[in-house]
């Protein structure tokens, strides 16, 4: 037994080296119950809400909410038993299960509270040298840009200059400008050729703002040829497209379990390859520090780790229902929704259909765009006041909506969106 606070277990680093079957005997028994009922893919969604924004914070499956409530009651029967003797083996079991599910090396995979936590840990621990350069595509997630700016300012205090270069996202030069895959790759190559000392690219696998899926494997291959560290934010990927870490070969990859995978909040997955694994410490120093990479990241003090423990049940649900079945249902709905919207609005997506996976960014029609372009927060309020949850965004100097499609949506949701949108022209602002 190692010195991991007062815990009556080996630390997580050692637990992760054990066989999955050996770990099972040590875990909280509730997480081994994989009984599937009729509510397999049901949600706790308010029926009065038209929810077209799953991409924001996701929705937990009803069966996972029920399991988490059972776990909470179980923990409070004897917290010492849970924290002291059952929690670490249970987290190890969940980590082993999810690493196998995403085809990732177990020793390079850990569970963390959220994607932002992972990105902070990487950026705050990377040792930059003077005139090093970080690159990222335009329309990067807002908190990540703030994190980059923070790191830049902290390094200025150490008299180290970090150059931040934005890779332009190029739209075709027409009314409804489109993003093209070939332009994404050419923009990246141009930036690499015209800038020195590029040490890191920060990239969203699926863009939160644009909704497009970047050609991640090709981008990673290009960056590796130039010895550029690839930090990939895959917040929207798990449960959206099949994730195969070994196949795409990133240096660092982070994904959430709550957005599209159906988990409750506060569980993400961090992968770091062998080259960089021991170069990044956790944001929090607690009992797991100095007990190996996995231990220092996973134990953040007396926290609510229930979302870590629901992972095995989630995986069983997806494997039972069938990943491809879920994706096919979403795609069929999306095809119907997009066809209906196009027939009413005669507008277009900001990129070809094949660049989208369950997040679709659509130009609003001219009449709505012209009326709300300089005050689109009012348009957002109108949708909210009509119980429609859909984000309005300004992209390529035009207003767009980002439509999330999940299996709980119906054509009635789209018809209501179109009805309210068509009435907007009669609303005074």
Neighbour count for residue 153 (Cβ, 10 Å):
10
Long-range contacts, 313-317 (Cβ 8 Å, 24+): 313/31, 313/33, 313/34, 313/63, 313/64, 313/67, 314/61, 314/64, 314/257, 314/261, 314/262, 314/263, 315/97, 315/98, 315/101, 316/34, 316/36, 317/36, 317/40, 317/41, 317/61, 317/63, 317/64, 317/262
Please name the helix (run of DSSP H) or strand (run of DSSP E) that holds residue 55, with its range, or none: helix 54-57
| Residue 125 neighbours by CB under 8 Å, 6+ apart | 279, 280, 281
Pairwise pLDDT comparison (358 vs 429), residue with the higher score? 358
How far is the CA of 13 from the CAs of 9, 95, 281, 371, in angstroms?
11, 11, 15, 58
Distance CA 305, CA 68 (A): 10
The whole-number average pLDDT for the span 371-376 is 92
The whole-number average pLDDT for the span 7-19 is 79
pLDDT at 429 over 60: no
Three-state secondary-structure class, residue 204 = strand
CA angle, 33 then 308 then 240, to 5°: 95
Contact 391, 56 (CB under 8 A): yes
Sheet bearing 162-167, strands edge to edge? 109-112, 268-272, 252-256, 229-233, 198-204, 132-137, 162-167
Distance CA 368, CA 364 (A): 6
Q: Give me the pLDDT at residue 19, please.
A: 85
pLDDT tens readout for residues 146-181: 999 999 999 999 999 999 999 999 999 988 999 999
Nearest C-alpha neighbor of 219 from the set 183, 268, 246: 183
The structure tokens listed for 156 are 């200025």
Q: Give me the pLDDT at residue 425, please.
A: 61
Distance CA 319, CA 230 (A): 30
pTM of the model: 0.94
Residue-by-residue DSSP string for 61-87: BHHHHHHHHHHHHHHTT-HHHIIIIIH
Q: Give me the pLDDT at residue 40, please.
A: 74
- Computed on alpha carbons and rounded to an integer, the radius of gyration of the chain in Å comes to 23
109-315 CATH:
3.40.640.10
pLDDT tens readout for residues 255-266: 999 999 999 999
Measured in degrees and rounded to the nearest 5, phi and psi for residue 334 equal: -60, -40
pLDDT at 5 over 90: no
Domain ranges within the chain, ordered by starting residue: 109-315
Lowest mean pLDDT among 72-81, 130-139, 278-287, 375-384: 278-287
């Amino acid at each position: 037994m190692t010195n991991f606070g007062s815990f009556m277990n080996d630390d997580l680093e050692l637990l992760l080296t054990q066989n999955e079957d050996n770990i099972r005997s040590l875990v909280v028994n509730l997480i081994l119950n994989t009984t599937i009922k009729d509510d397999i893919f049901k949600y706790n969604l308010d029926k009065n809400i038209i929810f077209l924004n799953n991409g924001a914070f996701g929705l937990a499956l009803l069966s996972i909410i029920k399991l988490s409530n059972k776990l909470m009651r179980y923990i409070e029967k004897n917290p010492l038993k849970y924290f002291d003797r059952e929690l670490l083996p249970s987290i190890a079991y969940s980590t082993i299960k999810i690493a196998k599910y995403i085809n990732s090396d177990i020793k390079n995979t850990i569970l963390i509270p959220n994607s932002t936590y992972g990105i902070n840990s990487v950026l705050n621990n990377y040792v930059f040298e003077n005139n090093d350069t970080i690159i990222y595509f335009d329309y990067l997630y807002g908190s990540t840009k703030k994190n980059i700016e923070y790191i830049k300012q902290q390094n200025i205090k150490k008299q180290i200059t970090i150059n931040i270069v934005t890779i332009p996202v190029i739209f075709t030069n027409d009314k409804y400008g489109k993003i093209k895959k070939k332009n994404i790759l050419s923009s990246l190559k141009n930036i690499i050729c015209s800038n020195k000392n590029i040490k890191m690219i920060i990239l969203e696998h699926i863009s939160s703002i644009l909704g497009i899926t970047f050609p991640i494997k090709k981008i990673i291959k290009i960056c590796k040829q130039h010895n550029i560290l690839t930090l990939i934010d895959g917040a929207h990927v798990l449960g959206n497209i099949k994730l195969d870490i070994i196949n795409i070969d990133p240096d660092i990859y982070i994904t959430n379990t709550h957005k599209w995978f159906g988990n409750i909040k506060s569980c993400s997955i961090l992968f770091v390859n062998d080259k960089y694994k021991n170069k990044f410490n956790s944001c929090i120093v607690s009992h797991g520090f100095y007990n190996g990479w996995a231990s220092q990241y996973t134990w953040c003090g007396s926290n609510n780790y229930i979302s870590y423990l629901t992972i095995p049940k989630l995986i069983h649900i997806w494997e039972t229902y069938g990943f491809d079945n879920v994706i096919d249902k979403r795609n069929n709905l999306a095809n119907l929704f997009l066809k209906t919207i196009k027939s009413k609005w005669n507008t277009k997506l900001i990129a070809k259909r094949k660049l989208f996976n369950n997040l679709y960014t659509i130009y609003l029609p001219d009449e709505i765009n012209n009326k709300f372009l300089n005050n689109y927060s009012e348009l957002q309020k109108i949708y909210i006041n009509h119980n429609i949850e859909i984000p309005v965004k300004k992209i390529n100097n035009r207003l767009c909506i980002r439509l999330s499609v999940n299996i709980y949506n119906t054509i009635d949701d789209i018809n209501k969106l179109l009805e309210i949108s068509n009435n907007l022209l009669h609303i005074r602002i």
